[in-house]
Amino acid sequence: MIETPLGGPVPRYELARWREEFGILAGITVRGDPASPFDLGLGGQAPISEVLDRWSALRLAVPGFQGIVVSRQVHGTAVLWHSDVRSIAIHQGADGHATSTTGILLAVTAADCIPVYLVDPVRRFVALVHAGWRGVAGGILSAGLAAMRVRGSIVDNVLVHCGVGICGQCYEVGSEVFTGCGLAPPPEGRGPLDLRAVLIEQARALGVENVSTSPYCSRHDGGFFSHRGGADGRMAAYLGMVG
């Protein structure tokens, strides 16, 4: 499944199919104008006032959502549940968010790590998690799914999409990363690792059959922020149910 570029003041890609079929808004902001990148990083070099203005612009660009929730991420596995969010809510120390409330826009920031979108379109639950290698190793996908299942979601209904992030060819890592992700390291100790492929296998092991992945690489495809590619800044993946 492929994200479609959108025009307008906020540079972003969205999954048009989910909106048309399920009333689910799922997308990710991108760099935009090279002279004035649309950086949404909460702990970066850009003045926080400029960053918050961009978050406000994102909220205005997606009418029907009364609030956006995001967190200062720590590459952990905590997933927060949200029932009421107004304006822009910034939490600390979580790497995922979930809700069954229409009009709440969940968000995670990324610049190579994989945003993973989880949707139960039948029971109307959604979760969005930030999956770097530590999150993948720690089970962030399982935590996102559990946040929905404990409240009544059924795994047979769930769709998982592994979004824009670094591809396997561009992500060369050491043996500790392979081991952490449950894989045998290459004989030479370093090699390429496809985090989205690992996430797909994890999803299927958890009982999710409907899994898709973005074709875009944040490093070698143009227009994205990439930590490894030297493009400072953060994109924001977002997910919510349209009223």
Confidence of residue 44 (pLDDT cuts 50, 70, 90): low
List of residues 6+ apart from 112 with CB closer than 8 A: 132, 165, 166, 171, 218, 219, 226, 227, 228, 229
pLDDT value at 230 more than 80? no
Say if CB 61 and CB 8 are below 8 A apart: yes
The pLDDT value given to residue 10: 94
pLDDT of 231 strictly over 70: no
Average pLDDT of the residues in 142-168: 97
* pLDDT score of 154: 95
User: How many residues appear in the chain?
Assistant: 243
Question: Structural domain boundaries of the chain?
Answer: 15-227
Residue 9: both structure tokens together = 């003041």
Give all strands of the β-sheet with 159-162 in edge-to-edge order: 79-82, 96-99, 125-131, 114-120, 159-162, 210-213
Which of the listed CATH numbers 3.90.550.10, 3.60.140.10, 1.25.40.80, 3.30.565.10 matches domain 15-227? 3.60.140.10
Q: Measured on CA atoms in the order 161, 166, 172, 177, is the torsion positive or negative?
A: negative
**What residue type is 200 in one-letter code?**
I
First vs last C-alpha separation in the chain: 24
Residue with the bigger pLDDT between 134 and 48: it is 134
The pLDDT of residue 200 is 97
Average pLDDT, rounded, for the chain: 93
Higher-confidence position of 48 and 19 = 19
Of 18 and 87, more confident:
18
Q: Give the 3-state secondary structure of residue 55.
A: helix
pLDDT in tens, 30-39: 999 888 899 9
In this prediction, residue 48 carries a pLDDT of 82
Euclidean distance between CA atoms 155 and 148, whole angstroms: 9
How is residue 231 annotated by DSSP? Answer: B
| pLDDT tens digits, one per residue of 158-208 | 999 999 999 999 999 999 999 999 999 998 889 999 999 999 999 999 999
Find how far residue 36's CA is from the centre of its chain.
23
* List of long-range contacts for 13-19, beta carbons under 8 Å, 24+ apart: 13/164, 13/216, 15/117, 15/161, 18/119, 18/159, 18/161, 19/242
